[in-house]
Structure 1
């Protein structure tokens, strides 16, 4: 299992890219709604992974 610091770094990076995806999705909503929907779907999948990762981090921190 990855170290806690690596997991926290991954969590930070994923949150950063979720923000980028959502910002781009908002920009494209009028001009290319299909691409905007695709970006929204990708952000949703990453968000689900972030929740799982955050739970794993919390569990590891609790164990320490």
Structure 2
């Protein structure tokens, strides 16, 4: 199992890329709606994983 520091770092990276994907998706919405939708879908998957990571981090912090 990953350490708390590794999980926190992973959550930070997830949130960073979610922000990047959403910003790019907004830029492409008019010019390439299919790519914008794809980026939105990828951001949604990363967001779901980030929620799981945040829950796991909270559980680990409660255990300590």
Structure 2 length normalisation: TM-score? 0.99
CA RMSD of aligned residues (A): 0.2
Count of paired positions: 64
Q: State the 4+ residue runs in structure 1 displaced beyond 6 angstroms.
A: none
**1:36 partnered with 2:36:** yes
Q: Which runs of 5+ in 1 are unaligned?
A: none
**CA deviation after TM superposition for structure 1 residue 62, in Å:** 0.2
Structure 2: gaps of 5 or more residues: none
Secondary structure (helix, strand or coil) at the match of 1:2 reads: coil
1:61 aligns with 2:42: no
Normalised TM-score (structure 1):
0.99
